[in-house]
Amino acid sequence: MVSTDTATLFLHPDRNLAMELVRATEAAAIRAVPFIGRGDKNAADKAAVDAMRAFLGTVNFDGVVVIGEGEKDKAPMLYNGEHVGNGRGPACDIAVDPIDGTSLTAAGRQNALSMIAVADRGSMLDASSVFYMDKIVTGPEGIGIVDIRKPIGENIRALAKAKGKAVEEMVVAVLDRPRHAQLIEDIRAAGAGTRLLLDGDVAGGINAARYETRIDICVGTGGSPEGVATACAIKALGGLIQGRLAPKTDEERQKGLDAGLQFDYVYSADELVRSENTFFVATGVTDGGLVDGVRRKGPIIRTESIVLRARSGTIRRVIADHLAEKWLGEDVSLPL
């Protein structure tokens, strides 16, 4: 007979789940490799989606995709509302992006990765009706100091003081988009430097919260789904994330209102993900500041992944060597 305490624990994601999820991001990253630098982002994405979905089907959990590939890229699989896993084990919300940075992969640029975020069922904010969100992310020093409603220059100066750094030493990551032209100008006018991201503000946000990186703040307007996924990681790092929905049309705003979303409102990490039991798993596709990309070393394919768990506050790096003959060739099935 299973005790009540044990049964209760079984309903929630546990530490073993994270290591199972790594297998799915590793598979997606490896399958994307033949398409790096080939100019076909759709082919890369399809290969990664197929691989991730195949592996997720073997995992002991009942996952519901809250943030999915299908919703974002109109793909036929891993769509919002899809059940993944074998149906046994904990009930979870899941956010997936088989390749965060399909354009980066197609161009052969850095910082493409495969990622999965998981939390207790019903805890992730479903912001799928509003595509964009204004976000700001820092490490723990920003809590109670940084506020997305304040001018960026004020936030930079306040965080620099909290970190004991000169403003001139501060580095702010921003997606390199025309919409951020004024923001970039304001950051530089404040005396800080910028780290312009071609894509992938999830990795940018995580790096802003990690103590060993050069990035102090990640700020700007990016995808709402990526904001929720980033929050799962930030809760494990003890950092700060704030998000404010940014609808582009009145119609999109009304869809958000109909879905129960709030506008002109700052969502905290605990509102983006209402759970202290979150996981974030990512495997590098191409080299980047967060993880190295997939590499071929003779008969071995090497992957590097990062695993973050909020409940224990742990960060693990997983370097895995995979026998290449198990992966190469169109007739070779995925080694489940």
**What are the binding residues for Mn(2+)?**
45, 69, 97, 100, 226
Full 3-state SS string of 244-311: EECCCCHHHHHHHHHCCCCCCCCECHHHHECCCCCEEEEEECCCCCCCCCCEEECCEEEEEEEEEECC
Chain centroid to Cα 180, Å, comes to 21
H helical segments located in the chain: 4-10, 15-32, 41-56, 69-73, 102-107, 152-163, 181-189, 201-209, 224-237, 250-258, 269-272
Beta carbons of 296 and 304 less than 8 angstroms apart? no
Chain centroid to Cα 6, Å, comes to 30
Chain centroid to Cα 93, Å, comes to 14
Beta carbons of 209 and 239 less than 8 angstroms apart? yes
The tokens describing 107, both together, are 């161009």
The tokens describing 266, both together, are 């700052």
In angstroms, the CA 293 to CA 287 distance is 4
- At CA 63, angle to CA 60 and CA 68, rounded to 5? 135
In angstroms, the CA 34 to CA 132 distance is 31
Residues of the binding site: 45, 69, 97, 100-102, 132, 177-179, 199-201, 223, 226
In angstroms, the CA 245 to CA 132 distance is 6
Task: From residue 33, give the alpha-carbon distance in Å to each of 69, 96, 193, 305, 318.
Answer: 19, 18, 33, 15, 19
Beta carbons of 155 and 141 less than 8 angstroms apart? no
Residues of the binding site for substrate: 100-102, 132, 177-179, 199-201, 223
